[in-house]
Amino acid sequence: MATPLPRDPIADARLNWERHGWSDVAAPMAAITAIMRTQQILLARIEGVLKPFGLTFARYELLALLSFARSGALPMNKASALLQVHPTSVTNAVDRLQQAGLVLRSPHPTDGRTTLIELTPEGRTLAKRATAALNSEVFAQSGFAEHDVDQLIGILGTFRRNAGDFSE
Amino acid sequence: MATPLPRDPIADARLNWERHGWSDVAAPMAAITAIMRTQQILLARIEGVLKPFGLTFARYELLALLSFARSGALPMNKASALLQVHPTSVTNAVDRLQQAGLVLRSPHPTDGRTTLIELTPEGRTLAKRATAALNSEVFAQSGFAEHDVDQLIGILGTFRRNAGDFSE
DNA sequence: TCCAAACCCTTGGATGTCCTAGTATATTGC
DNA sequence: GCAATATACTAGGACATCCAAGGGTTTGGA
């Protein structure tokens, strides 16, 4: 981001909403807009850290997911469900990771429809290094106070449950 | 999203982080991941409401911004700064909005480098209708408790200021 | 048994975002 | 006044995401 703006554009938008008689929804509008912008900032930081590893966030997420799987392999549909992205996005990420030699596709032993994604040794190593970088350069300096982190986890957890992400 | 997962995937990721000895950054990691996922859910809802209007969120944001400008016109660089997106994204959005007859490009009266984006009457009308739809179908049913909305606005406002979005 | 319905993955198309350059216009400094 | 620098927008390319559609595999009910 170049120069900071003199005023918070989201607070201004909220004022505009109130001025137009939409006071009842101005606050949620501001909160939602703030979430969008915060995501954008965080994503940019993460991508910046991952770039030297030749990874994007989407590819990193898949690599990290595989590295936590007991066998180091997962069916594509499982990965799609856990990462909560469209199956085509997983196909895309696997294509590129495979081309980079970080994962392999292998047939499912009993279900001919299913493809397993498997971490290569190089993939496992890179996942470790990238995770260490993200931990120290992004998560350890998130810019959120400790108490705010807990608040966010609680508020967004409730939201995600209500949105149907998970049952428990 | 199809079926809810039996368990919260982000809580699981946090447990994995703790199991690997990264307890100190597990909470911020979970908070950041939750923000990413929440943004994805909200964006999908918004796009769903805007689709019948032939708008995407990016185009709507630009339309809404123009509708609040006194003159109904803004320089492209101003729009880029206020929406906090790359100038090329604004070019892209303006191209499509212009093709749909919702905005016009006009030369800046004194600065030959600058292009003004101007709302057409159709653009203004559509912005109003789309805003009404978003207000009633998304913002009025955000899924956040009133108290949580205030928490989010505060926490994310501080974050955005620290990230250099605005000074005040 | 067997065929229709369900499921899994991929391809192709549309959008949006960013980055890097390139062109045109303004501003600054000598 | 003129050259060097800065600013504004756009073109082209890389990625990611989603949707719609297609081809192969499994499952389940008639």
pLDDT digits (tens, 9 = 90+) for B96-125: 999 999 999 999 999 989 999 999 999 999
The residue type of A128 is: K
Q: Within chain A, what is the greatest distance between any pair of CA atoms?
A: 62
pLDDT band of residue B1 (cuts 50, 70, 90) is very low
The CA-based angle B16-B18-B19, given to 5 degrees, is: 65
Q: Specify whether the CB–CB gap between A94 and A105 falls below 8 A.
A: yes
Contact B144 A16 (CB under 8 A): no
Name the residue with the least CA to C1' distance from nucleotide D8: B113
Which tokens is B76 given?
């492209």
Dihedral (C-alpha) B140, B146, B149, B155: value to the nearest 10 degrees? 170
Q: Looking at strand D, which nucleotides approach a protein CB closer than 7 A?
A: 7-13, 15-20, 23-27
**Is the domain defined by B45-134 classed in CATH 1.10.10.10?**
yes
pLDDT band of residue A2 (cuts 50, 70, 90) is low
Q: Hey, what CATH topology would domain A55-140 get?
A: Arc Repressor Mutant, subunit A (1.10.10)
On the 0-12 / 13-18 / 19+ scale of CB atoms within 10 A, B48 is exposed
Round to whole Å and give the CA distance between A68 and A90: 17
Cβ–Cβ contact B37 with A under 8 A? yes
pLDDT band of residue A1 (cuts 50, 70, 90) is very low
Contact B5 A82 (CB under 8 A): yes
Which of A22, A35, A136 to substitute to test the interface with B, most B CBs within 10 Å? A35
Cβ–Cβ contact A116 with B under 8 A? no
What values do phi and psi take at A103, rounded to 5?
A: -140, 165
Judge whether residue A147 has pLDDT over 80: yes
Q: Specify whether the CB–CB gap between A160 and A166 falls below 8 A.
A: yes
Instruction: Spell out which residues of A between 11 and 40 contact strand C, using CB within 7 Å.
Output: 40
pLDDT band of residue B32 (cuts 50, 70, 90) is very high
Would the pTM count as exceeding 0.75? Answer: yes
SS3 A79: helix
Q: What is the mean pLDDT of chain B?
A: 94
Chain B, 122 to 161: residues with Cβ < 8 Å from chain A are 131, 134-135, 138-140, 142-146, 148-153, 155-161
- Kindly list the domain boundaries of chain B, sorted by start residue: 45-134
A43/C28 CA-to-C1' distance in Å: 38
| pLDDT tens per residue, range A8-58 | 999 999 999 999 999 999 999 999 999 999 999 999 999 999 999 999 999
Reported residue count of chain B is: 168
Q: Is the CB of A114 under 7 A from strand C?
A: yes
